[in-house]
Amino acid sequence: MNGQVQSSRERLGGFGPVNLGLFSGMIATDRVPTIQSFNSDAELDDTMAATEVDSKVKTKLLSMWNNVKYGWTVKIKTNFSKESPVWLLGQCYLKKSECSLERASEALEPVGTGSQVSLAMDATNFENTIEEFKRDFASRLWLTYRREFPILNGSTFTTDCGWGCMLRSGQMMLAQALVCHFLGREWRWRPEQSTDESNHRMIIKWFGDQPTPESPFSIHRLVSLGVSAGKRPGDWYGPSSVAHLLCQAMERASEDPNSKLNQLAVYVAQDCAVYMQDVENVCCTPDGRRKALILLVPLRLGADKLNPIYAPCLTSLLTLDTCIGVIGGRPRHSLYFIGYQDDKLIHLDPHYCQETVDVEGNEKFPLTSFHCTSPRKMLLSKMDPSCCVGFYFPDKESLTDFMETIQRRWKVSQTKSNVGIRCKQGKK
């Protein structure tokens, strides 16, 4: 792909500054202690059983209503322009191979700006089709609301339906980084083949809806970590909060010396500033190994709504090979953005509620519910200004190249149309 599209530096044109008791106990009397105790236990069991049934009914009704509201969007067909390129996490796809180079390049002009993001096209690019794009899209991990999972600690919740969408979006962005690390960006899921199935399933298990060490990024683990930040099960989360939860979850998971997750580190750039010495401290291990880096940058691109001046820079980020997407969406309606065409963002929607899959007790658990085959699009102008963009750097060289580009743009750009990811030496 490096020979098909331009470098990260070239694609970051315009990148610069601006920067979520039930009942009282039955007390036995002295008169008939044995019988009274027996009846109390029976009534207790009956009450608990009734409560459990009531909770399951409520969960099913909630998920049914949610899927009536959102489920249709999973099945309808999304149309793509035949004239414009489609970008998906650094990969460019064209609808028709007969499009001219000039037209393809013109179509990449960002919305609302006179500048142009150029694209180095060759014959290979012209052979990329929408079908290849859909295969790429369907290979991203789709992590959605689930129902009937083990109760979240400190609550009666057995579903995250209605409140866990930002957590699910964050899971998807982290999962994309793990796919890049363990499978590669070029990996494609083919249900009829078992190639790389073990790593594929390994990654999904890490996000399994269960409160066990085998699932360090489960909804249970994230909600548990959220308690320390004053959150409770059922609370809604923002993009920045989720970024910090993912960072904490990775730190905990990598403490196990036998875990493959100790190959990675997560760094959250607060106030858009990346302190290089802090990054080095996070990535370098005592034994001299270097971890791959997942960089998460929370952003605020406007006051009450997205300022259109930031649109070109946001879409240019999605053309980078290192980008693992953006979590954001509409107010209190999180989505995971992974690409764009023209003025519309392509996303995965976590709002479809599905049954929990037992990823621990079944080695050959079904994979289909973890992949979506229907791309969705949303107008960029409808995006909430609060978001978080993620990047994956396999080595120091890729990080250095990216940060040098950012630093250069920060110094020379005099415009206010760019998010201000700043590189700083030293520690925070």
Q: Measure the CA–CA gap between 102 and 323, rounded to whole angstroms.
A: 26
CA pseudo-torsion sign 93, 97, 100, 101: positive
The mean pLDDT of 362-377, rounded to a whole number, is 94
- Would you state the pLDDT for residue 403? 85
Q: pLDDT averaged over the chain?
A: 80
The mean pLDDT of 292-312, rounded to a whole number, is 94
Give 195's pLDDT tier (boundaries 50, 70, 90): low
- Would you state the pLDDT for residue 118? 39
- Would you state the pLDDT for residue 408? 73
- Greater confidence (77 vs 6) lies with 77
- Would you state the pLDDT for residue 121? 42
Closest Cα partner for 146 from 354, 428, 419? 354
Q: Which of 67-81, 119-133, 186-200, 392-406 has the highest mean pLDDT?
A: 392-406
- Would you state the pLDDT for residue 279? 95
The mean pLDDT of 143-158, rounded to a whole number, is 95
Closest Cα partner for 421 from 15, 27, 148? 15
Q: Measure the CA–CA gap between 295 and 272, rounded to whole angstroms.
A: 11
- Greater confidence (281 vs 48) lies with 281
- Would you state the pLDDT for residue 125? 47
Closest Cα partner for 148 from 53, 248, 229? 53
Closest Cα partner for 200 from 246, 144, 141? 141
- Would you state the pLDDT for residue 297? 97
Q: Residues 6 or more apart from 322 whose CB is under 8 A from it?
A: 8, 90, 391, 392, 393, 398, 402
Q: How far is CA 313 from CA 115, 133, 319, 389, in A?
A: 11, 22, 10, 12
Residue that is written with structure tokens 């009942």 in the block: 23
> In the numeric block, which tokens belong to residue 317?
């980020």
Percentage of the chain exceeding pLDDT 70: 71
> In the numeric block, which tokens belong to residue 49?
């059983």
> How many CB atoms sit inside 10 A of residue 356's CB?
17
pLDDT tens column, 67-113:
665 655 556 778 888 788 999 999 999 754 443 333 333 333 333 33
- The strand ranges marked E within 250-342 are 264-268, 273-275, 292-300, 323-330, 333-341
CA pseudo-torsion sign 211, 217, 220, 225: positive
Residue that is written with structure tokens 């996490």 in the block: 89
Q: Measure the CA–CA gap between 131 and 95, rounded to whole angstroms.
A: 9
- Would you state the pLDDT for residue 29? 33
Catalytic residue positions, numbered: 165, 349, 351
Give 211's pLDDT tier (boundaries 50, 70, 90): very high
The mean pLDDT of 304-312, rounded to a whole number, is 92
The mean pLDDT of 349-354, rounded to a whole number, is 95
Three-state DSSP class for 121? coil
- Would you state the pLDDT for residue 16? 44
- Would you state the pLDDT for residue 229? 87
- Would you state the pLDDT for residue 50? 45
- Greater confidence (110 vs 256) lies with 256
DSSP, res 85: -
Q: Measure the CA–CA gap between 157 and 137, rounded to whole angstroms.
A: 31
Closest Cα partner for 248 from 233, 234, 228? 228
Give 152's pLDDT tier (boundaries 50, 70, 90): very high
Closest Cα partner for 130 from 90, 167, 82, 95? 95
Give 357's pLDDT tier (boundaries 50, 70, 90): very high
Q: Measure the CA–CA gap between 415 and 244, rounded to whole angstroms.
A: 30
Closest Cα partner for 103 from 87, 85, 86, 88? 85
pLDDT tens column, 312-336:
989 999 999 999 999 999 887 999 9
Prediction pTM value: 0.80
Closest Cα partner for 280 from 399, 130, 413? 399
Percentage of the chain exceeding pLDDT 90: 57
Element (H, E) at 379: strand 376-379
Q: Residues 6 or more apart from 284 whose CB is under 8 A from it?
A: 290, 291
pLDDT tens column, 15-36:
444 332 322 332 333 333 333 4
- Would you state the pLDDT for residue 133? 94
Given a cut of 90, is residue 148 above it in pLDDT?
A: yes
